[in-house]
Amino acid sequence: MTTRDFPFAAGRELLEVPLDPAPVRQAATVMLLRDGAHGLEVFMLRRVSTMAFAPSMHVFPGGGVDRRDATDDLPWAGPDVDDWARTMDCPPDEVRALVAAAAREVFEETGVLLAGDDEGSDPVELLGGTDAAARARQALVGRELSFAELLGGAGLRLRSDLLGYRAHWITPEIEPRRYDTRFFVAEVPPGQEPDGETTEADRAEWVRPQDVLAAAEAGDARLMPPTIVCLEQLQAAGSVSRALEERPAIAPVMPVLVDTGAGTVMRAELP
């Protein structure tokens, strides 16, 4: 294990751990990757300032697990749920919900659909084209449609082989909203392009990991500890192929507030 200290957000009131910390909600987030002209790039969103959790932070697409994500009816291709359960060290039902949430949130927030059929058809075309896909996307956001219903109705299956598991972080106990979040990587499938058209973000763009890390260091971007660590790992990988091939050590990480005497930091024990 490696001990790592992160700055405590400037301007925040110093909070003590409550006697009854807020419950954690399962969540999933995905680092969408591509090889740009000057190296690996990752798609990031800047959350709107009015968000209850992580306002104005630069984040990867993702969000909380929906109760319908765990349905047994979810069409699935690639490594099966039992394979993922061994990889992620958690029960199959939980795995199904997390992988489904990862793919669903990516589609809701970016329009990228990590799904396919046996013939390798364009998944957007199988949904009925761009306009029909946009309507389906809004129906997902409004919880009028489940991800399993969307895929099944178009003859699609979730492509779990497009995802790689990369990290597991838990929101500190001082926070009023807490998430138990699994981090994934995925290369954007050919013919698709993320758009970031979501009400939860006011900015969406492809960035090199080193550029957004430098912006955060200069005070021009706000990053949470797990985002910093994931960006550093992507920078070290240098290419999409290497980022997808890597198998980092993974263990749950929950930062804690520590007074070092010289200041307050968020301290994390990294695997």
Above pLDDT 70, what percent of the chain? 96
Please tell me the distance from the alpha carbon of residue 72 to that of residue 77, in angstroms, as a whole number. Answer: 13
Kindly tell me if the per-residue pLDDT of 39 is higher than 90.
Answer: yes
Q: Summarize pLDDT for 129-187 with one digit per residue, the tens.
A: 999 999 999 999 999 999 999 999 999 999 999 999 999 999 999 888 999 999 999 99
- Would you kindly state where each structural domain of the chain is located, as residue ranges? 2-270
Q: In which band, very low, low, confident or very high, does the pLDDT at 17 lie, cut at 50, 70 and 90?
A: low
Task: State the sign of the Cα–Cα–Cα–Cα dihedral 34, 180, 94, 232.
Answer: positive
The pLDDT of residue 55 is 76
Class of domain 2-270: alpha beta
Q: Summarize pLDDT for 205-216 with one digit per residue, the tens.
A: 999 999 999 999
Per-residue tokens: 205 = 């763009």
Query: Which H helix or E strand runs over 166?
Result: strand 164-170
Mean pLDDT for the stretch of residues 109-126: 94
Mean pLDDT of the chain: 93
**H-assigned helices in 111-255:** 123-126, 130-141, 147-153, 209-217, 225-237, 240-245
Q: Could you tell me which residue, 99 or 8, shows the higher pLDDT?
A: 99
**Please, which residues have CB within 8 angstroms of residue 192's CB and are 6 or more apart in sequence?**
111, 112, 113, 124
The pLDDT of residue 11 is 45
Comparing 4-13, 61-70, 236-245, 253-262, the range with the smallest average pLDDT is 4-13
